[in-house]
Amino acid sequence: MYEKGRAWIELSIQHLEHNVRLFQKLLPKGCALMPAVKANAYGHGMELICKQLQKLGIRNYCVASAVEGARLRRAGIHGQILVLGYTHPRDLDLLVEYDLTQTVIDCAYGKILKDFGKKLSVHIGIDTGMHRLGESYENISGIRELWNCRNLQITGVYSHLCTSDGTTETDRTYMRLQEMRFQKVLRYLQAEGRKGFATHLQGSYGILNKEELTGTYDLARVGIALYGVFSESSTELERKYDLRPVLSLKARITSVKELKAGEGAGYGLAWHADSARRLAAVSIGYADGLPRALSNKGHALVKGKKVPIVGRVCMDQLLLDVTEVPEVCPGEEAVFIGRSGTYEIRAEEMAAEAGTITNEILSRLGERLVRVIV
Ligand SMILES: *Cc1c(COP(=O)(O)O)cnc(C)c1O
């Protein structure tokens, strides 16, 4: 099969390395990158990305589930793999078999892990105010109890910030409050003489906005920004940090046709030609993760020109109005994320047009796309 035959992702290893080095410079001495490679490395392809990260010296990773962790081990990834989410009691053997570190998502779950009876490496999640996972920072005695579970080897204690990507003073204040609560727990454990565990608090935005925080931690769970992308476009952060997008999304133009003024196109004839137009059918659709919300809204680059998506995005195909691109032929490429000539469409732009954030756009890029390293 020709890998660029239909629809594909191109990965820039140079850009990945650039972003890794940029973050390593940003992190305080002694703090290691623990890339978030969940959801197929935010759609990039977790095996390909982690093999490159491993070559760059990365030794810690975080994933959402034990199955994702097992997938990394089978791909030959060494080092610590932390499962951030819940692992069903019936799947706990996966943790042992693949040497995965499990999050203690709360004290009740700690009991389940203890009762499993086999030795497990765990990080304790602390809820400092997001109210998703983690034991409440207020339940110090419950947290302390976990050290009495003989089969739990506690190798980390962490929390997660929920407003670190916000720009308002309220967001910043809450971020600092969460850190204060986390540090309270850490101070308590320290006073008890508990040690030998790594601490971590920050994701991408916790690092990008680190001047809001006072502490330093052993690990940083950087996800979206390591792929060279902000969750949403921000002129301030773009000026401050030279992140380079790792991923480009491209697809093949398969057919070109001329429409007369007044003719409609696509499902529901949701688009009509207001004058004579030339349309190109492209072999990518919402099943590939290109949002249907981009119907009559999104854009692509063809031969260095920006052209609109017209009509409804289909499951496997869509239509572009290529009237403004002279001599466009079947077999040519359409770029949905990435560069063509002097133009670039960034994931942030596509996300804004689709009414979402880049994290969702990228992590939903489908299985059917072929990932190629360039
Ligand atoms: C996904 C996730 C991260 C990474 O977040 P980014 O904003 O993509 O850097 C970090 N920590 C936890 C707990 C997560 O679930």
Q: How far apart are CA 167 and CA 169, in angstroms?
A: 7
| CATH topology for the 31-228 domain | TIM Barrel (3.20.20)
Tell me the best of 23, 62, 362 to mutate to test the pocket of ligand 1, counting ligand atoms within 8 Å of each CB and taking the most.
62
Distance 51 CA to ligand 1 centre (A): 20
The mean pLDDT value for 128-135 works out to 98
Q: How far apart are CA 374 and CA 355, in angstroms?
A: 30
Report pLDDT for 326.
85
Partnered with residue 156 across adjacent β-strands are: 123, 198
Catalytic (active-site) positions: 38, 267
Of ligand 1's listed atoms, the one at least distance from the Cα of 38 is 1
The mean pLDDT value for 348-360 works out to 98
Tell me the best of 84, 103, 230 to mutate to test the pocket of ligand 1, counting ligand atoms within 8 Å of each CB and taking the most.
84
Of ligand 1's listed atoms, the one at least distance from the Cα of 222 is 9
Report pLDDT for 186.
98
Q: How far apart are CA 110 and CA 87, in angstroms?
A: 12
CATH class of 247-373: mainly beta
Residues flanking ligand 1, CB < 6 Å: 36, 38, 84, 160, 203-205, 221-225, 359
| Residues 202-228: b if buried by 16+ CB within 10 A, e if exposed | bbbbbbbbbeebeeebbbbbbbbbbbb
Q: Find out whether 101 and 121 touch, Cβ atoms under 8 Å.
A: yes
Tally the C-alpha atoms within 13 A of residue 316's C-alpha that lie toward its C-beta: 3
The mean pLDDT value for 104-121 works out to 98
Distance 134 CA to ligand 1 centre (A): 14
In the predicted structure, residue 47 carries a pLDDT above the cut 90: yes
Distance 223 CA to ligand 1 centre (A): 6
Report pLDDT for 282.
98
The mean pLDDT value for 200-208 works out to 98
Q: How far apart are CA 39 and CA 76, in angstroms?
A: 18
Q: How does DSSP classify residue 262?
A: T
Of ligand 1's listed atoms, the one at least distance from the Cα of 125 is 13
Domain boundaries, the chain: 31-228, 247-373
In the predicted structure, residue 41 carries a pLDDT above the cut 90: yes
Rg, Å, the chain Cα set = 23
Whether the full predicted model's pTM is greater than 0.95, yes or no, is: yes
* CA dihedral of residues 6, 11, 12, 18 (deg, nearest 10): 160
Distance 278 CA to ligand 1 centre (A): 43
